[in-house]
Amino acid sequence: MSTDTTDADNDLRERITNFLRRNFPQIQMHGGSAAISHLDRENGEVTVQLGGACSGCGISPMTIQAIKSRMVKEIPEIETVHADTGMGAGADGDLGGTSSGGMSPSFPGETTDDGDDEGPQAPF
């Protein structure tokens, strides 16, 4: 790798890092972090790893979508953004839903049709 390529990679990496700091200060303000885990300048792809409080945060999928849509508009060299929170998310921040065999959320009073466990009965 030539020094020109290394300089271009470093420049692009710095612009991505500045983009994240400038556009998403709430990530750090809320105890999270965002770091570039992979950069492929030739293909215009970057992978951003969200960590800290972002792992398991309910709004991290929205943060990921915002990063993906805004970065490709603001940084011309980037065509594809992959992002992950590290909490069972796919490479694109897809949490998998119920079709991947993961657990789905349940809410108080919610009933299911599986008939296996109706939960505790009211004492009256």
Q: Report the predicted TM-score, pTM, of the whole model to 2 decimal places.
A: 0.65
HSE-CB of 12 using CA atoms within 13 angstroms: 23
DSSP state of 90: -
Helix (H) or strand (E) holding 36: strand 32-40
pLDDT-derived band at 57 (thresholds 50, 70, 90) equals confident
pLDDT digits (tens, 9 = 90+) for 22-55: 989 989 888 999 999 999 999 999 999 999 998 8
- In 3D space, the residue among 18, 23, 31, 35 whose CA is nearest the CA of residue 66 turns out to be 23
pLDDT at 101: 35
CA gap 34, 64 in Å, rounded:
10
CA gap 66, 83 in Å, rounded:
11
- With beta carbons less than 8 A apart as the criterion, state whether 37 and 86 touch: no
What is the b/e burial string over 87-113, where b = at least 16 CB atoms within 10 angstroms of the residue's CB?
eebeeebeeeeeeeeeeeeeeeeeeee
The answer for residues whose C-beta is within 8 angstroms of residue 9's C-beta and 6 or more apart is: 39, 41
pLDDT digits (tens, 9 = 90+) for 82-101: 998 876 544 443 333 322 33
